[in-house]
Structure 1
Amino acid sequence: MTLLDWIEFRTIVAALTGGFVSAIAFSSWLIYKYRRRIERMEAQLDNIIQERTLELQITLQELAEKNELLEAQSTTDALSGVRNRAYFDRKMVAELNRSRREQRPLAVVLLDIDFFKQVNDDFGHLAGDQIIRQVAELIQSNLKRCSDHVCRYGGEEFALILPNTDTVGAVEVAERIRALLAAAALHVAEHQLAVTISAGCYAANADADSSPEYYIHCADKALYQAKNAGRNQVISYPSLFNASASDTASKEQPHVSS
């Protein structure tokens, strides 16, 4: 028996043999001891709850980060590094709903690398892959708003989603990208290639009948007109104006190696 146990034992005996006053004192002592024990148990329980809560918060944060990583991986084009077609399809539905709700214009721009097949034929598919990556980087770096998105639509074709943008604004964005690319020299192995793009733009306030397919259809019609008119230019549908490059670039050799 420890000294503390002995003291408690003597206290209990004294309380039991000491009459009514001692009994009251003993009862008070028991209540005090009980409360102290409850307080210790509550403190231990609080510590356990805090530890488990912190562990749960860390687990949830790790899970959220993994979900974000998986989401980014599933919506990113492996070759170009920009968003993929699946992301474009999903984002278009969301932006159409927002355009319809807020009655603000939504613009879609289709951009296609000119004479891309010839690049592949002359320099190989690895060179074509490098061209796609560099064009994607140039487009991405020239989108000024976080709400604007570039997606690889397929092959050598890219699509821009430009919320709250009318036809004039869409043409301005596409023309800036076209002009910068036309003035740049893309490095592929030991070669420097002059690469151009053609672009078709469509913008409108979404209504009850609007669909992603219709926006793409209109932008694609404008892109076809740009290609048919000689490439290296931006055309809107309906035609607003033709932001074309120099006429000499239209049907000449699309790249020069050195």
Structure 2
Amino acid sequence: MQDITENLIKNYTVYHKIFYVFMVLLTVLSRVMKFTDNTPVCVTFATVVFVFALLDSVFYHMGVFKNMKFLTTFRLIEITTYSIFVSFVPYEGVLLVGMFMILFLLALEFIILGSHYDKGTILVRKMMLLIPMFINLCLSLQFRRETFWFCYVLVLAIFVVTLLFVTELLEYSNDAHEAYYTQLVLERNDIQDKNAKLEEYQEKVKNVNERVNYQKIELARVVNDLEQANREIESQTEIMRYMASSFDINKNINVIVDAIMDVKNPKLCAVYMDGAVNSDNRGICIIKTDYASMERRLRKDFEKIYSDFAESRKTTELLVGDELKELRFIGETNIKSLVKLAMINDNKQYGMMLIASNEENFFDKGISYYETCLVEYNVSVKSTKLYLQTQDMARKDGLTQIYNRVYFGQLFAAAAEEATKKQQPLSVALFDIDKFKNINDTYGHLAGDKVIKMVASIDDKFARAHGGFACRYGGEEFLLVLPGYDETQALPILEEMHKEIQTTIVQYDDKEIPVNVCIGLSAYPTICRDTNILVNRADKSMYYGKKHGRGRLVVDNPAVDDMQS
């Protein structure tokens, strides 16, 4: 037997108190209302009820009722005691009915309480109840009149049958309840199993979804990388195609910078190149950024940054985070990463590229795209140099390195067309070395070549200084074309050039060779209104000077025509 709970004991103790009060009241009322005249029986019964009530309360507070064996024994004694008193109560008394009711309830409690509806336990307790029932029957048959035996036995039999019926009914109800409860437990367990399987399935689905999402993210990243790689390849292809068709290194580097800004979207792409790469020896500075203040500071510092980087002899340098503090031009911008790339041709650095971003991991995937772009540019620089060299061979005189007569025709046609279209002045001077045949005959052809080169270099010097172009027109004939100059503006320039040629002594084999020239000048539109005969007018003017004493500078005038006639 298991100990019963405190709460159950408390509830049954309360019920017993009600029973005890009811029994005492019933006993007193039975005597007061003269349902019975047996005062000793009433007093004794009331006293016994009081004693059991007192013991019930004491045992409850002592906690001994938690022991099922003790409680069962106590109830059996109580039932037996009441059964003995029932034997002495008259049949016509109300007290007898009340006592049978109390006995019925106590017997029912005795059978059921603490049995947990165990059939073996219930059967044993039913057998135990035979003891008080047998004592009651024996005493009743002994002390009651024989005429009432049959009725009493019948009443007692009804009492027992009713008790058994109610007990069986409670057992049946309990069995039904337990069956229903077992069914509910099985259903609950089944539901829990299904829920567990569902949770397991949901967890699997969740894991699968997570893996799918991760794969989607990875796939999206791979797709983005492939798209980026395709954009880079397409960009490099376009760069290669453009470089193959262009020999303008300034435009070429601008195309590369624009491609980097479009494909990689950095916050800064800048290029600095010294004059070594340019035919006119001018440096190149290109800066593309949204930060105007950073652009201004970089333009001021770029040459110094390039000089320091070139001295370090590094080909690449990556700066991230706090390493950028050393760069003054960064300022308060949100630049978090920057790479420096050297531009090298024939093992000589001629420039650098700066690329910066506001993302610290911007260069984590490498810098191969930028390096490939610079390789393409280096190829274009070499191609351009080779092209220009080839072009110079076709356009320039081999001895003097100024333009030859063939290319002069193209240059002059363009200058004449622009002057005609814009109605701007155009001056042409043609000059010839005086007595050049005597120089060759006296000093030799090598000395003559040296004289020609001296005159050509001075011609080219003044052409560059005043935005014109120089040309070797024939053996010892030279041209100087000055777009935008009329004869009054061109005359002092030619006088200065003439004077420099006259004062320049050519040294050859410890010999000094004096040189002089005769210059003819014509100008459009003030003197000659047709550009097609402008060179011819200058030639006539030069010839006029040769006929009138050599070493002269003659401006085109009507006298030139008079001499020809």
Pair in the same fold by TM > 0.5: yes
Aligned residue among 493, 515, 537 for 1:173:
493
Q: 1:175–1:233: 8 Å Cα contact kept in structure 2?
A: no
> 1:231: how far off?
0.6
The residue number in structure 1 matching 2:551 is: 232
The residue number in structure 2 matching 1:34 is: 216
Classify the secondary structure of the residue corresponding to 2:541.
helix
> 1:158: how far off?
0.4
The residue number in structure 1 matching 2:536 is: 217
> 1:42: how far off?
3.4
Q: State how far apart, in whole Å, the 1-side matches of 2:530 and 2:391 are.
A: 27
TM-score under structure 1 normalisation? 0.76
Q: 1:186–1:194: 8 Å Cα contact kept in structure 2?
A: yes
> 1:80: how far off?
1.2
Q: Deviations over 1:108-152 (max 9, x none)?
A: 100100000111111111111111011112222334635211111
- More displaced, 45-54 or 34-43? 45-54
Q: State how far apart, in whole Å, the 2-side matches of 1:168 and 1:211 are.
A: 18
- More displaced, 67-76 or 137-146? 137-146
The residue number in structure 1 matching 2:78 is: none
Say if 2:442 is the partner of 1:122. yes
> 1:55: how far off?
4.1
Classify the secondary structure of the residue corresponding to 1:74.
helix
Unaligned runs of 5+ in 2: 1-198, 234-368, 560-565
Q: State how far apart, in whole Å, the 2-side matches of 1:216 and 1:29 are.
A: 84
Q: Deviations over 1:8-55 (max 9, x none)?
A: xxxxxxxxx942453244123212223224424533664663365444
Q: 2:429–2:480: 8 Å Cα contact kept in structure 1?
A: yes
The residue number in structure 2 matching 1:148 is: 468
Q: State how far apart, in whole Å, the 1-side matches of 2:436 and 2:472 are.
A: 15
TM-score under structure 2 normalisation? 0.37
> 1:77: how far off?
0.8
Classify the secondary structure of the residue corresponding to 2:465.
coil
Q: 2:463–2:482: 8 Å Cα contact kept in structure 1?
A: no
Say if 2:261 is the partner of 1:79. no
The residue number in structure 1 matching 2:379 is: 59
The residue number in structure 2 matching 1:7 is: none
Aligned residue among 84, 93, 107 for 2:427:
107
Q: 1:112–1:199: 8 Å Cα contact kept in structure 2?
A: yes
The residue number in structure 2 matching 1:23 is: 205
> 1:216: how far off?
1.1
Q: Deviations over 1:94-114 (max 9, x none)?
A: 101111122110111001000
Classify the secondary structure of the residue corresponding to 1:154.
coil
Classify the secondary structure of the residue corresponding to 2:403.
coil
> 1:185: how far off?
1.6
> 1:56: how far off?
3.6
The structure with higher relative contact order (CA 8 Å, sep 6+) is 1
- More displaced, 36-45 or 125-134? 36-45
Q: 1:114–1:196: 8 Å Cα contact kept in structure 2?
A: yes
Say if 2:416 is the partner of 1:96. yes
Aligned residue among 505, 513, 516 for 1:185:
505
Cα 1:74–1:141 change in 2 (3 A) is same
Classify the secondary structure of the residue corresponding to 1:71.
helix
Cα 1:44–1:56 change in 2 (3 A) is farther
* Number of aligned positions between the proteins: 222
> 1:195: how far off?
1.0
Unaligned runs of 5+ in 1: 1-16, 241-258
> 1:154: how far off?
0.8
Q: State how far apart, in whole Å, the 1-side matches of 2:386 and 2:492 are.
A: 38
Q: Deviations over 1:59-87 (max 9, x none)?
A: 33433333223222321111112121122
The residue type equivalent to 2:213 in the other structure is: I
The residue type equivalent to 1:33 in the other structure is: Q
- More displaced, 28-37 or 73-82? 28-37
Classify the secondary structure of the residue corresponding to 2:485.
coil
Q: Percent identity?
A: 25
Q: State how far apart, in whole Å, the 2-side matches of 1:36 and 1:91 are.
A: 61
The residue number in structure 2 matching 1:202 is: 522
> 1:211: how far off?
4.1
Cα 1:185–1:59 change in 2 (3 A) is closer
Classify the secondary structure of the residue corresponding to 1:195.
coil
Larger Rg: 2
> 1:157: how far off?
0.5
Q: State how far apart, in whole Å, the 1-side matches of 2:464 and 2:385 are.
A: 26
Q: State how far apart, in whole Å, the 1-side matches of 2:397 and 2:538 are.
A: 22
Cα 1:122–1:97 change in 2 (3 A) is same
Q: State how far apart, in whole Å, the 2-side matches of 1:139 and 1:211 are.
A: 21
Higher helix fraction: Structure 1 or Structure 2?
2
> 1:227: how far off?
0.5
Say if 2:448 is the partner of 1:133. no
Q: State how far apart, in whole Å, the 2-side matches of 1:57 and 1:18 are.
A: 61
- More displaced, 154-163 or 27-36? 27-36
